[in-house]
A and B are shown apart, each in its own frame.
Chain A
């Protein structure tokens, strides 16, 4: 069964350093999401792509976070500079809208756990 791939699985960095996370969605899925999950909470959307275009980045802290999906397939999320409060799990999800029903289901990758020291 196809899966969303993410790397690295774990990342430890010092504050003020730059970090980057990579996501490869399920083949054919046009929509890609990045979520941040703080320990003990539910995921919160950071950015949504439709193909290579950003659909929603209203919750993305744009002073330090950036995301791209240049060819409309895989995606990179970057933080520069990292802060202590960025420690969290970063989840990528992809989805496909069912042509007949219009239903959409998001499938999540295993996540990248970031620890900022």
Chain B
């Protein structure tokens, strides 16, 4: 079936460090891929997305490239800030009649000053 696997957290970094959060997926067909971010006590916010192979999604300094050959969509940022501390969810939308999102379990990022 369709699924998303994320690296387990928490990920603890110092400010200005490089961030990578790994995400791999299993899906039939060609899903769209998403990264959502959830700040403490809040709902999910769309961070970036990619809809086809080799697409790169980017927003607020974050990037992720849709890699069909490795079924991956790793999230990266060159220099994290304390304000980036949140839980990050990788998700896929396998389309079809229902366009359901399937989420990974989330990765907690803690950035220390």
Name A's B-contacting residues (CB within 8 A). 4, 6, 31, 33, 40-45, 48, 55-56, 91, 93, 95, 101, 103-111, 113
Contacts and interface: CB of A to CB of B under 8 A. Distances in A.
Interface string B23-43: 000000000101010000111
Contacts of B93: 104, 106
B106 A42 contact: yes
Given A42-B91, A42-B104, A107 B99 contact: no
A113 B46 CA distance: 20
Contacts, number: 57
Q: By DSSP majority rule, is chain A's interface helix, strand, loop, or mixed?
A: strand
B17 interface: no
Interface residues of B, number: 24
The dominant DSSP class at the B interface is strand
A106 B32 CA distance: 12
A32 to B, nearest CB: 12
Given A42-B91, A55-B97, A108 B45 contact: yes
Interface in B28-77: 32, 34, 36, 41-46, 49, 51
Given A104-B99, A108-B36, A110-B42, 13 more contacts: A40-B105, A42-B4, A42-B89, A42-B103, A42-B105, A43-B101, A45-B101, A55-B98, A56-B98, A91-B44, A93-B44, A105-B46, A110-B43
Contact of B43 (A31, A44, A105, A111): A111
Contacts of A43: 44, 89, 101, 103
